[in-house]
Amino acid sequence: MPLEPQIIAEPEFWHQPLADRMRQFADLREQGPLLPVAAFDPLTDSDISFRAVTRYAEVTEISRRPLDFCSGRGSTAITDIPTEAMEFFGSFIVMDDPRHARQRAIVSRSFTPRQLQGVLESVERICGEVIDGFCEQGHVDLVEVMSQPFPLLIICDMMGIPRREFATVLRATNVILGSGDPDMTGGRDDVLAALIDAGMELAGLMNELAEYRRGHPGDDLTTALVHTDLGEDVLAPEELAPFFILLSVAGNDTTRTAISHGMNLLSLNPEERRIWQADLPGVTHSAVEEIVRVASPVVFMRRTVTRDLELSGEQLHDGDRLVLFYGAANRDPRVFADPETFDVRRDPNPHVGFGGPGPHFCLGAHLARREVAVAFRQLLTRLPDIEVEGPAVPLASLGIPLVGGIKHLPVRFTPTAAKGAGA
């Protein structure tokens, strides 16, 4: 008997192992291109209705047509929330042109390959520091010691956030990324209040740093965003904090979740691990792309229909919500051969793990790819026998999570000396 589309909105659906969840998505994907879902959102205590988009063709088509399917009515939440709150947490990814184009253009000046070169070089160093911190222990939670701190340290250093503030940024981003998981909110019952407090904490930190950088320029992204060459636009003071929230949350979730899921996938597919480990230079690029395809760290983005139209034989109306499920699209057999197979040498691999084509494709995809590549190259070189020794524990989300994270992943390995200790 076919599954009911409403299963997508049940928390238990998202608490399953990744493979089990994707098997159910495969059933739903074959039922139709735009499945109607009516459900209850526990975060906002309200009813919601949307169309679940699970096929590759529709995800890419919707993504490349921002005038028909907009982000400015809500892209990171299925429920409608006030515009001010939406933009506070989402910055320009919840905007449409021309506001989206303006802010993205300002930020993208600092995300060119040339501008990112210094950051990319620091990825190797920071990764080494992080592995030094646990390589002598033998048994660790990989999420705690590697997946969480590694990408966030890069972002903090990139922005010029002092290391002494790292714990604050980590705690706040865990609340925002935690999708209501009590372990991430510190057990607070009022999840929305916890989210607001976390956002305000990050905003206060960013505003303080920006004010300092206006008078004391440094070699960091914050300086670049508050100082500019003659004639170039800059982010307004009220735009800077939302961008930092976006960067510290969305900017680390792909790497963080990809590392955790990637290590678990290697444990579940030992032959693929052997292939990769035997040829790190030759396989790393395709292996990283395959991790992003199979894990699809960003679960969804929402688009809203702006006019009455037809798509894939379905009549849609102004205001209809469309929820693009990237993981389901990334396993569409119409595009990917043997889509449920984890293949570190898969080529071609036109996944939408960084979003579909169009103006909202992930600005930090180049950096994220580099981070995942460096993380696995160093892990598989420095800790060659590292292996998972217990089940991956997913976030206990209250509803449909924006990021399908893993909160615990126990691993073991033969202890080795830290390189920073004289190696």
Taking only the tens place, the pLDDT of each residue in 182-193 is 888 887 878 888
pLDDT for the residue numbered 226: 87
Mean pLDDT value across the chain: 92
Q: Which residue has the tokens 């992943």?
A: 409
> CA 119, CA 255: separation in Å to the nearest integer?
15
30 residue type, one letter = E
Mean pLDDT, rounded, for 124-136: 97
Alpha helices, H only, 145-236: 149-159, 166-177, 182-185, 191-215, 221-226
Angle at 57 between CA 358 and CA 330, to 5 degrees: 90
> CB-side exposure of 409: number of CA atoms within 13 Å?
28
User: Of the ranges 21-25, 240-244, 252-256, 416-420, which is most confident?
Assistant: 21-25
- Least confidently predicted of 7-11, 126-130, 267-271, 381-385: 7-11
The torsion defined by the Cα of 221, 226, 231 and 236, in degrees rounded to 10, comes to: 120
Is there a contact between 385 and 285 (Cβ–Cβ < 8 Å)? Answer: no
Higher per-residue confidence, 115 vs 148:
148
Assess contact for 361 and 355: CB atoms under 8 A. yes
Q: Give dist(CA 292, CA 344) in Å, integer.
A: 11
**Half-sphere exposure at residue 143, Cβ-oriented, CA atoms within 13 angstroms:** 19
- Provide mean pLDDT across the span 268-296: 98
Looking at the predicted structure, is the pLDDT value of residue 422 above 70?
no
Q: pLDDT value at position 230?
A: 53
pLDDT digits (tens, 9 = 90+) for 12-66: 999 999 999 999 999 999 999 999 999 887 767 788 899 999 999 999 999 999 9
Residue 423 pLDDT exceeds 60: no
Cα–Cα distance measured from residue 93 to residue 296, given in angstroms and rounded to the nearest whole number = 18
pLDDT computed for residue 104 by the predictor: 93
What does DSSP assign to residue 146?
Answer: I
Is a pLDDT exceeding 90 seen at residue 98?
yes
45 vs 29: CA distance, rounded Å: 28
pLDDT per residue over 362-388, tens digit each? 998 989 999 999 999 999 999 999 999
Angstrom distance (rounded) from CA 289 to CA 373: 10
Residue 60's H or E segment, with its range, is helix 56-63
Structural domains present in the chain:
5-421 (1.10.630.10)
Please give the pLDDT value at position 44: 72
User: Phi and psi dihedrals of 48, rounded to 5?
Assistant: -135, 155
- Burial of 47-84, coded b for 16+ CB within 10 Å and e otherwise, reads ebebbbbbbbebbbbbbeebebbbbbbbbbbbbbbeee
Hunting for tokens 């299925």 — which residue is that?
Answer: 78
Spatial contact of 289 and 63, defined as CB atoms under 8 Å apart: no
283-296 burial code (b ≥16 CB/10 A, e <16) = bbebbbbbbbbbbb
Task: Find where tokens 């921002």 sit.
Answer: 66
Residue 421 has pLDDT above 50, yes or no: no
Asked if 93 and 362 touch (Cβ cutoff 8 Å), the reply is: no
Rounded average pLDDT over 261-269: 98
Per DSSP, helices labelled H in 186-302 are 191-215, 221-226, 237-268, 270-278, 280-295
Residue 33: the pLDDT is 96
Token pair, residue 106, equals 């300002």
Q: Is the pLDDT of residue 317 over 80?
A: yes
β-pair type (46-53, 321-325): parallel
CB 154 within 8 A of CB 120: no
- 359: pLDDT strictly greater than 80: yes
Q: Is the pLDDT of residue 219 over 90?
A: no
Position 231 confidence tier, pLDDT thresholds 50, 70, 90: low
Q: How far apart are CA 25 and CA 327, in angstroms?
A: 9
Q: Please tell me whether residue 188 adopts helix, strand or coil conformation.
A: coil
What residue type is 139 in one-letter code?
A: H
